[in-house]
Amino acid sequence: MKHDEDPATDSFYDTPLARELADLTARRRALDSVPLEYSGRRRIFTVSNQKGGVGKTTSTVNLAAAFAHMGATVLVVDLDPQGNASTALSIPHNAETPSVYDVLVEERPLSEVVQQSPESPRLFCAPSTIHLAGAEIELVSLVARERRLRTALEKYLSTTGADIDIVLIDCPPSLGLLTINAFTAADEVLIPIQCEYYALEGLSQLMGTVSMIQKHLNPTLALSTILLTMYDGRTRLSQQVADEVRAHFADQVLTTVIPRSVRISEAPSFGQTVIAYDGQSVGAVAYREAAVEIVRRDQYPDLETGEAAARAAHDGGTEERGA
């Protein structure tokens, strides 16, 4: 921490808490200088990990809100029968609501189910309802069962949804037909990894599914982004998991990590993202930094991850932090 006083004679300003606060203030200030206009290309992400509870939905809705905050128009497709993303974005999704189920099974146009989130005029959601729980089985006997979301999304993005800049598809914790529809519809895979024991377990199965999709259904699909979530800087375990993931996926892991934060876990019960619920909190700052880093890495593709982050910081984006 930089402070005018001599830290040796000013013990408060040399405490870890004071350093943390000063660091957070500097990070907020850096985010304030990010342009509020989105100039990137259209991107379609599927947020996937068949492991449950790793932060897929939390990352989907908070990154969506962070991108909208940066001026992007964003569509969240809730592909999980649990409907958690719809809840977090305050989108009604009772059994009668037209939903992604109708799109996938009944071929209803996506434009008829998409709703605007009260959180932002730039934030939209195609909700899920409980009917989607049956879709996994109903899809099996339907024509082009793996491509139904892609077809619907392509039609939507070339008509009613022409101004959508970023699509984020929130997947259920499985590798069934719903997730395969998401992989087939997307250009990029974003994998949230929880900084906990067994974090890497199941990743090879996920990679296997991605390469099967690349071979047979969607040759341009790329695993572009890995986001470390629920990081607890006080534990050696979080650090070890982060190091291990970075060793395996040096090019994909974002420099920004999402800390474990009470504010992040509270926000959905108010039907809000953490960006709206407490935009100054460390969790909101981290998700906004992650969104900036995702955009900047795309704009500076030739740079190594660390260099891109440093450039982003220099340009007024996210600041680089130790892993």
Ligand X SMILES: Nc1ncnc2c1ncn2[C@@H]1O[C@H](COP(=O)(O)OP(=O)(O)OP(=O)(O)O)[C@@H](O)[C@H]1O
By CB under 6 A, name the binding residues for ligand X.
Answer: 52-58, 80, 82, 84, 173, 229-230, 258, 260-261, 264-265, 283
DSSP string covering 159-213, please? Answer: TTTTT--EEEEEPPSS-SHHHHHHHHH-SEEEEEEESSTTTTTTHHHHHHHHHHH
Cβ at position 160, least distance to ligand X in Å: 27
Choose among ligand X, Mg ion, none what residue 55 binds, the Cβ cut-off being 5 to 8 Å by kind: ligand X
DSSP string covering 14-40, please? Answer: GSHHHHHHHHHHHHHHHHHTS-SS--S
Q: For residue 136, count other CB atoms closer than 10 A to its CB.
A: 16
Nearer to ligand X, 40 or 271 (CB): 271
C-alpha span between 106 and 121 (Å, rounded)? 28
Nearer to ligand X, 241 or 308 (CB): 241
Choose among ligand X, Mg ion, none what residue 128 binds, the Cβ cut-off being 5 to 8 Å by kind: none
Are β-strands 115-116 and 123-126 bridged in parallel, bridged antiparallel, or unpaired?
A: antiparallel
Nearer to Mg ion, 57 or 128 (CB): 57
Are β-strands 188-194 and 222-231 bridged in parallel, bridged antiparallel, or unpaired?
A: parallel
Cβ at position 292, least distance to Mg ion in Å: 24
Residue type, 26: A
Choose among Mg ion, ligand X, none what residue 27 binds, the Cβ cut-off being 5 to 8 Å by kind: none
Nearer to Mg ion, 57 or 256 (CB): 57
Choose among Mg ion, ligand X, none what residue 229 binds, the Cβ cut-off being 5 to 8 Å by kind: ligand X
Are β-strands 74-78 and 115-116 bridged in parallel, bridged antiparallel, or unpaired?
A: unpaired
Nearer to ligand X, 54 or 203 (CB): 54
**H or E element that contains 125:** strand 123-126
Cβ at position 286, least distance to ligand X in Å: 8
- Binding site residues, Mg ion, CB under 5 A: 56-57, 84
Choose among ligand X, Mg ion, none what residue 179 binds, the Cβ cut-off being 5 to 8 Å by kind: none
